[in-house]
Amino acid sequence: MPDVELKPQVYRDPRPKEYFDQFHARARAGDAGWTYELTRLVVVPYSLLAFRARGIGTENVPNGPVILAPNHGSFMDHFFAGSFIRRRVRFMAKSQLFGPGPATYIFSHGGVFPVRRGAHDEEAFTTAFKLLDRGDLVVMYPEGGRSRTGEIAEQAKPGIGRLALESGAPVVPVAILGSHQVRNWKRLQFPKVTVQFGTPFKFDVVPDSTREQQQEAADYILERIRELYAGLKLLGHRGSLMAARDRRKHERRRRRDPEPAA
């Protein structure tokens, strides 16, 4: 049976920049508020129980400013990326999420800030740079929109390349396996989800990066995600967790019984 169909993506938000200024001001003013912990209290148990979500390699997420770069297959990826990290994470999310209703209050007070789709949104980058300067952890999707098939996009959007180059913050690639099928919950089908955090890396700072430099950096980030994702897909959910446990055991033995110096 095919997966539940997604609604067509809306690639342009007609609302003016001024509508979103309030959300950027709130994000820049300080840490995520009480709605972050409330949402986490609800979503983490749901993810663990319904989707049997498991995280691998959380020790790869350093302290200080960090860019988390996950593949994107589901509206739940925000939560999957943050569920296994003790730090509060800040999300760059599509502007369509910021409409009338209580959800906007939860998002804007919970660490989420908008990026206007279909526009060169300098405000989103100003917010992201300010958060990184403050030592926060920012989540940005290299692919932009969600994958319809679960496969990684052929090319990244250059925005994450700009953020990485001009901030100098470490980038942690994140592979999420199974999330594109989360939409099948409408049929009471709940796929397993595995999240793997890769080894962090940094680019040399380029204060005024060109479009070509941004694209090159973004494609490099996406390639690291692709490698992680391919490994998860090859081993499967169970195999990936077993391999991670074996690596931890080997590392503990290595620290306990270091090889003698030559």
> pLDDT tens across 86-99, in order?
899 999 999 999 98
pTM of the model: 0.90
Q: What percent of the chain lies above the pLDDT cut of 70?
A: 95
Q: What is the pLDDT of residue 30?
A: 87
139, 85 Cβ separation under 8 angstroms: no
Is residue 113 within 8 A of residue 21, CB to CB? The reply is no
3-state secondary structure of 103: helix
Average pLDDT, the chain: 91
Give φ, ψ of 243 to 5 degrees: -65, -40
Tokens of 2: 């095919």
Q: Can you tell me the distance from the alpha carbon of 51 to that of 190, in angstroms, rounded to the nearest whole number?
A: 6
What's the pLDDT tens digit per position in 53-85?
999 999 999 999 999 999 998 889 989 999 999
**Helix 159-167 / helix 122-133 crossing angle, nearest 10 deg:** 40
Residue 261 pLDDT > 60, yes or no? Answer: no
Per-residue pLDDT, averaged over 205-216, amounts to: 96
Which pLDDT belongs to residue 220? 98
Distance (Å) of CA 57 to CA 43, 80, 101, 222, 244: 20, 14, 36, 18, 8
Least confident among 9-18, 129-138, 188-197: 9-18
